[in-house]
Chains A and B, each alone.
Chain A
Amino acid sequence: MVHRRVSGGTLTRGLRRALPPLVVVGVLLVGWQWYVTASGIAPQVLPSPSRVVEQGWASRDVIWANTVPTLKVTGVGFGVSLVMGWALAILVDFSPWLRRALVPLLVASQTLPIIAIAPLLIIWFGFGLLPKVVVIALVTFFPIAVGLIEGFASTDPEASNLLRSMGAGRWKEFRYVRLPGAMPYFFTALRIGITYAVTGAIFAEYVGASAGLGIFMNQQKNSFRTDLVLAAVVVTALLSVALFALTYLVQRLVIPWYAQERRRA
């Protein structure tokens, strides 16, 4: 019973938190619709929101057919990024030498102008999955690796001492203290990474792909279907928000203690 009351509380709190942005979006949409009707602007330049929804719905089969490859690319790319980010962060945590060697490179990887590199990746790797996975990994790997590295390093040195006094070696110290303590950092990094992942996928497809929301937007733009470009944009945004919300769900399952801790603090 207590449990139900708590979840009911979080539900109304969630609604109350979602309300202000929804109101703002509503006002903007009404303003947009009014402007398009009043000015008589051509739909090739600026379609009304109702037209975007209408035409998007009419083309739902095509949009869905292009959403699936985008989701797949996002999933694979982000998965690769997660595996690499974890592996690198753990290596760096165990080896001060690797930390000095790799962290500057990690920062340098963020200075790469992806917009210039993405077309090259297509030249090198073709129109398949690989160049897109590389783009997504490049944009999402950094926040995940850095978040984890900082999370491990945030361990209280006295907690490490306590573990060592219990006879723990470096691996047990990692397993019992550093790893669980880093999980809140990881989930913050995961949320940043996942929002980059979808836009990264769209961008990689935009440059060149056989299917996907990115290439769909590009084609529709070229045939002046601004309404369908915007419909695909809406789908992209919804995807990102859904994945973002999913990270909270996973967090609740993996580190239930963290929410309790925060509520009490």
Chain B
Amino acid sequence: MREIRVEHLGKTFGTLPVLSDVSLRAAPGEFVSIIGPSGCGKSTLFNVLAGLVAPDSGRVLVDGAPAGGSAFGYMPQKDLLFPWRTVLDNAALGLEVAGMRRRAARAKAQALFEPFGLAGFERARPSQLSGGMRQRAALLRTVVQDREVLLLDEPFGALDSLTRTGMQEWLEKVRARYGWTVLLITHDIREAVFLSDRVVVLGPRPARVCREVEVGLPRPREAGMVGWPRLHAVEAELLDALRGPGRTDPVPTTR
């Protein structure tokens, strides 16, 4: 597990600046959430990290050395489980793409089905899974690739509120067990606070970091912490940062 530094990333699409000097870091095993207004460039940031979009400026370092997309395991918003593959073959897809033999890839993915609450669904088709199970299968497909950092782009955004809360608690448990380093994009402030060690607030487009908040709640996080004053204080601070990012770091209004 290694340290990730993102330094001064900038990206402009045509004449539209999307990222402007975004810098981030994540210590090994750290959980960092990224929140910001809709369309502020959060997904573009992940696309750059995942190696899908080349940045105009800036760099991504893993333990001080420049790193490509292969350092990051990317889980997009949609689960993108393919109907022509069984759940197990979907989970093993990344390994197969990386050149692993199908049998070995299946065996490796299979080992995670139990902790991911998918045991017994190996041969099912994705459409037979519930929404929460589909997201767990998509996360499994990401995790099994053994990348340095997980990039989770609103993984629970499409779930109903009850399922989402259950998934957050479950994610906290498995994360503690495996010690992943995670970057999470979310629109849900409570989700960010509940899961993260640190929350990064991006300003409106072009995205730049306008505030960072240490959550400072003990681990493991538990459902009961939702009533804690510290959690509410962090939520209030984040909401405040989201409402008026211009005060801490003015951004030009012209494009």
Query: Which residue of the partner chain A has the closest CB to B128?
Result: A264
| A255/B84 contact (C-beta < 8 A), A166-B98, A168-B97, A176-B97 known | yes
> Which interface class (under 10, 10 to 19, 20 to 34, 35 or more) fits A?
20 to 34
Q: Of the listed stretches B54-62, B73-81, B114-122, B210-218, name the one at the interface; the rest are far from the partner chain.
A: B73-81
Residue-wise, chain A 139-171 has the 8 Å CB interface mask toward B (1 for contact) of 000000000000000001011011111111000
Q: Are B93 and A166 in contact (CB under 8 A)?
A: yes
Nearest CB of chain B from residue A103's CB, rounded to whole Å: 26
Tell yes or no: A130 within 8 A of B by CB: no
Known: A180-B82, A261-B83. A167 touches B125 (CB 8 A): no
Which secondary structure characterizes the binding site on chain A?
A: helix
Which residues in A have their C-beta under 8 angstroms from that of B98? 166-167
Give the docked Cα–Cα distance between A213 and B93 (Å). 50
Q: Which of A161, A163, A264 has the most CB atoms of chain B within a 10 A radius of its CB?
A: A161
Choice from B76, B97, B125 contacting A260 with Cβ under 8 Å: B125
Q: Is B28 an interface residue (CB 8 A)?
A: no
Q: Are B80 and A164 in contact (CB under 8 A)?
A: no
A257 interfacial by beta-carbon distance below 8 Å: yes
Q: A102 CB to closest chain B CB, in angstroms?
A: 28
B127 at the interface (CB under 8 A from A): yes
A177 contacts the other chain (Cβ, under 8 Å)?
Answer: yes
B76 to nearest A CB, angstroms? 5
Q: Which residues of A contact B76 (CB under 8 A)?
A: 158, 161-162
Contact indicator B52/A161 (Cβ below 8 Å): yes
Given contacts A161-B47, A260-B125, A261-B125, contact A167 B80 (CB under 8 A): no
A172 on interface, CB distance cutoff 8 Å: yes
B127, A260: Cβ atoms closer than 8 Å: yes
Cα A164 to Cα B96 with chains together (Å): 13
Residues in A neighbouring B84, C-beta threshold 8 A: 180-181, 183, 255, 257-258
- In the complex where A167-B98, A172-B97, A176-B93 touch, is A162 in contact with B127 (Cβ < 8 A)? no
A158-B76, A158-B78, A260-B127 given; A163·B83 CB < 8 A: no
B80 near A159: Cβ-Cβ < 8 Å: yes
- In this complex, what residue of A is CB-closest to B95? A166
Chain A residues whose C-beta falls within 8 Å of the C-beta of B50 in the assembled complex: 161, 164-165
What distance in Å separates the Cβ of B81 from its nearest Cβ neighbour in chain A?
Answer: 10
B82 to chain A, nearest CB (A): 7
Chain A residues positioned under 8 Å from B97 (CB to CB): 163, 166-168, 172, 176
| Chain B residues with CB under 8 A of A176 | 93, 96-97
Mark interface residues in A169-188 (1 if CB within 8 Å of B CB, else 0).
00010001100110100000
Cross-chain contact B83 with A164 (CB below 8 angstroms) = no
Contact, CB under 8 Å: B125 / A165: no
Name the A residues within 8 Å of B82 (CB-CB).
159, 177, 180-181
When distances are taken between beta carbons in the complex, the residues of chain B under 8 Å from A165 are 50-52, 69, 72-74
B94 contacts the other chain (Cβ, under 8 Å)? yes
A162 x B69 contact (CB < 8 A)? no
Roughly how many angstroms separate A159 CA and B138 CA in the complex, as a whole number? 12
Distance to closest chain B CB from A163 (angstroms)? 7
Whole-angstrom distance between the alpha carbons of A21 and B98 in the complex?
52
For residue A180, which residues in chain B have a CB less than 8 angstroms away from its CB? 82, 84
User: B residues within 8 Å of A by Cβ?
Assistant: 47, 50-52, 69-70, 72-74, 76-78, 80, 82-84, 93-94, 96-98, 125, 127-128, 145
| Known A166-B93, A176-B93, A177-B82; 18 more pairs at CB < 8 Å | A156-B80, A158-B76, A159-B82, A161-B47, A161-B74, A161-B76, A165-B72, A165-B73, A166-B94, A166-B97, A166-B98, A176-B97, A255-B84, A257-B83, A260-B127, A261-B83, A261-B125, A261-B127
Q: 9 tightest CB-CB pairs across the interface, nearest first? A: A165-B74, A166-B94, A165-B50, A166-B97, A180-B84, A168-B97, A261-B83, A257-B84, A264-B127
Taking Cβ atoms with an 8 Å cutoff, the residues of A that contact B are 156, 158-159, 161-168, 172, 176-177, 180-181, 183, 255, 257-258, 260-261, 264-265
In the complex, 24 of the A-B residue pairs with CB atoms within 8 angstroms, ordered by the A residue number, are A156-B80, A158-B77, A161-B50, A161-B52, A161-B74, A161-B76, A165-B50, A165-B51, A165-B52, A165-B72, A166-B145, A167-B70, A167-B97, A172-B97, A176-B93, A176-B96, A176-B97, A180-B84, A181-B84, A257-B84, A258-B84, A260-B127, A261-B83, A264-B128
